[in-house]
Amino acid sequence: QVQLLESGGGLVQPGGSLTLSCAASGSIFTINFMGWYRQAPGKERELVASWQSGGIINYADSVKGRFSISRDAAGSHLDLQMDSLQPEDTAVYYCHAVGRGWGSPSSLNYWGQGTQVTVSS
């Protein structure tokens, strides 16, 4: 079993900051990809920031310079630091990982349940 647990969502004012955390737990063997996605009402789910094997980090253009990610040494935890938040950042944020659990012969996609981020005055 592999489970992703997100935390840190909430309500903030424009210009504020928030940190989202994603922790992978369970029978984890390897994680090759880990990232944060978001989906706003009426919009497609989009990649916000991600890490993958080789240390490759990607950010959506809309968040460059405002958001940053950090990964722990074990590769099972990914934080999303969000600064200068704006109303357009309002969305449900999902943690996503691709990897293998001890009970799986191949890589699978794992998703967290999502955490709501609302930016409003």
- Separation of alpha carbons 71 and 121, rounded Å: 31
- The arithmetic mean of pLDDT across residues 74-94, rounded, is 95
DSSP-derived letter for residue 106 is: S
80 with 6: CB under 8 angstroms? no
Q: For position 75, what pLDDT does the model report?
A: 81
Going by pLDDT thresholds of 50, 70 and 90, the confidence category of residue 41 is very high
Both tokens assigned to 41:
């009402």
